[in-house]
């Protein structure tokens, strides 16, 4: 019983880390897109 609970805890912990990693990757992608948009707008302003 205790071992099963421990396994479930570890699994939920891993799932949490997976979600965090995905969020971090998504935010990095968003930052890249924003930088690209900013550079495009800077070019069009000239």
pLDDT tens for 5-38 read 999 999 999 999 999 999 999 999 999 999 999 9
**Separation of alpha carbons 33 and 12, rounded Å:** 32
Q: pTM of this prediction?
A: 0.60
- Stretch (H or E) spanning 5: helix 2-45
Report residue 46's pLDDT band, with 50, 70 and 90 as the boundaries: low
On the CB side of 27, how many CA atoms lie within 13 Å of its CA? 6
Asked if the model's pLDDT at residue 1 lies above 80, the reply is no
On the CB side of 39, how many CA atoms lie within 13 Å of its CA? 5
């Amino acid at each position: 019983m205790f071992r099963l609970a421990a396994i479930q805890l570890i699994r939920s912990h891993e799932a949490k880390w997976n979600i965090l990693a995905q969020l971090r990757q998504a935010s990095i992608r968003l930052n890249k897109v924003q930088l690209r948009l900013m550079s495009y707008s800077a070019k069009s302003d000239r």
